[in-house]
């Protein structure tokens, strides 16, 4: 599964968020699973109401949602790029994730320790960004000096690589993240081997106090303004409330509690859906009587590649796919009815799978 890592300064609410994720998945109806892979890593189901609607028609034995892995990367502090507080270990953990959930403290509470003075969401974000940028600069500079020595070969490919690295280096030196630099496909390929930390997609969690969970506060507003240019989402939530909701095993208790806080769903569900989007993922469904299941692919994948997610042999032996758009399946209520209405399409190996397609693959074994 693809991974999202939770990062942030100490005492901002990272573990509270991680615990909320792990508990909520456990407490859900039995078809929602959470499994802890390591103490700080868990696989969580992606809530998708389309899956439940499909299952409502098909009435399968099992419902299987897609999952993403959430990793709690604790321990980032000022100076991490210089090895402070096991900094290098944590930075290595970030290198392995596909996207970043950056938790920012937007609540005041004098009982909860803070090393960095008064609450300052933008300053906190910059501390973490700086550490990641410094680490990236180290990686870029290493490759830059290697490539610089090869310039005299006159190879145009080397020259292009040199130019790309130069752009990245200048950008990082200005205290900016690589995700804010617009790079061509060729340029991206040239730096792909560096697995730069600041190239990864990020979403921000503004951890606000109870009173501000629906409205935000001056801290979350400041954060939003500061990241406006990054094209990144800011989710305003209260991690403690989420953790409390997740600990309630009885759905009726949970409903009551959420009603009291005027919540229609846990903010966590929204967060997980946003993470899924952030990872640039799409979902297709298979709808059989044994199981109705959601499968994860990347946007733009063609049918054979999408089939390989079910089984690698499906890609090699791919013949064709029978496809019903989600909307049509729901409108007609079954595969047979959709087929009768002319809504079942036969697609070949060049078909680009759309988010929500209900698929049935034909293949040679």
Q: Is the dihedral of CA 296, 301, 307, 309 positive or negative?
A: negative
User: Strand pairing of 99-106 and 3-7?
Assistant: parallel
Spatial distance between the Cα atoms of 134 and 82, rounded to a whole number of angstroms: 9
Instruction: Indicate whether 10 belongs to the interface with ligand GDP (CB under 6 A).
Output: yes
Q: Are 192 and 90 in contact (CB under 8 A)?
A: no
**Interacting residues with ligand GDP between 16 and 55 (CB under 6 A):** 16
Q: Does 116 bind ligand GDP (CB under 6 A)?
A: no
Q: Is 5 in the site for ligand GDP (CB under 6 A)?
A: no
For residue 6, the minimal CB distance to ligand GDP (Å) is 8
Binding mask 224-263 for ligand GDP (x = CB under 6 A): --------------xxx-----------------------
Say how far apart CA 343 and CA 331 lie, in whole Å. Answer: 10
Q: Which stretch binds ligand GDP (CB under 6 A): 11-19, 79-87, 153-161, 244-252?
A: 11-19
Strands in 220-351 per DSSP E = 234-237, 281-287, 291-298, 318-324, 345-347
> Does residue 276 contact residue 68 with C-beta atoms inside 8 Å?
yes
**In the complex, what is the shortest distance from the CB of residue 108 to ligand GDP, in angstroms, rounded to a whole number?**
8
Whole-number Å distance between alpha carbons of 76 and 104: 13
- Residue from 2, 4, 5, 13 in contact with ligand GDP (CB under 6 A): 13
- Look-up: residue for tokens 């100076």? 79
Task: For the segment 59-78, give every residue that binds ligand GDP (CB under 6 A).
Answer: 74
Which lies closer to ligand GDP via its Cβ, residue 133 or residue 238?
238
Q: Which of 133, 207, 246, 286 binds ligand GDP (CB under 6 A)?
A: 207
How many Cα atoms sit within 13 Å of 336 on the Cβ side? 3
- Determine if residue 12 is labeled as part of a ligand binding site: yes
The residues that touch ligand GDP, with contacts defined as CB under 6 A, are: 8, 10-16, 74, 107, 109, 112, 207, 209, 238-240
Binding residues for ATP: 11-16
């Amino acid at each position: 599964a693809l991974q999202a890592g939770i990062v942030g300064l100490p005492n901002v609410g990272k573990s509270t968020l991680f615990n909320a994720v792990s508990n909520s998945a456990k407490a859900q109806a039995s078809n929602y699973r959470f499994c802890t892979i390591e103490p700080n890593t868990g696989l969580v189901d992606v809530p998708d109401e389309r899956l439940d609607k499909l299952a409502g028609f098909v009435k399968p034995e099992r419902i299987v949602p897609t999952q993403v892995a959430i990793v709690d990367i604790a321990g980032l502090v000022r100076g991490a790029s210089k090895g402070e507080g096991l900094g290098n270990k944590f930075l290595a953990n970030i290198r392995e994730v596909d996207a970043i959930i950056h938790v920012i403290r937007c609540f005041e509470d004098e009982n909860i320790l803070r090393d960095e003075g008064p609450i300052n969401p933008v300053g906190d974000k910059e501390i973490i960004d700086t550490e990641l940028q410094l680490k990236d600069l180290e990686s870029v500079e290493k490759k830059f000096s290697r490539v610089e020595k090869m310039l005299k070969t006159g190879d145009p490919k080397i020259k292009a690589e040199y130019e790309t690295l130069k752009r990245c280096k200048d950008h990082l030196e200005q205290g900016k993240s690589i995700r804010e630099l617009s790079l061509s496909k060729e340029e991206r390929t040239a730096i792909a081997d560096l697995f730069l930390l600041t190239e990864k997609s990020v979403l921000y969690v503004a951890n606000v106090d109870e009173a501000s969970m629906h409205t935000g506060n001056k801290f979350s507003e400041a954060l939003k303004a500061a990241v406006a240019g990054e094209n990144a989402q800011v989710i305003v939530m209260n991690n403690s409330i989420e953790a409390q909701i997740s600990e309630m095993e009885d759905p009726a208790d949970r409903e009551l509690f959420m009603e009291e806080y005027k919540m229609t769903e846990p903010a966590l569900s929204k967060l997980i859906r946003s993470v899924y989007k952030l990872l640039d993922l799409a979902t297709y469904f298979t709808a059989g009587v044994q199981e109705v299941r959601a499968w994860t692919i990347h946007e733009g994948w063609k049918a054979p590649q999408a089939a390989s997610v079910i089984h690698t042999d499906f890609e090699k032996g791919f013949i064709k796919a029978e496809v019903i758009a989600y909307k049509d399946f729901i409108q007609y209520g079954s595969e047979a009815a959709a087929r009768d209405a002319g809504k079942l399409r036969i697609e070949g190996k060049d078909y680009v799978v759309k988010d929500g397609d209900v698929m049935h693959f034909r293949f040679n074994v």
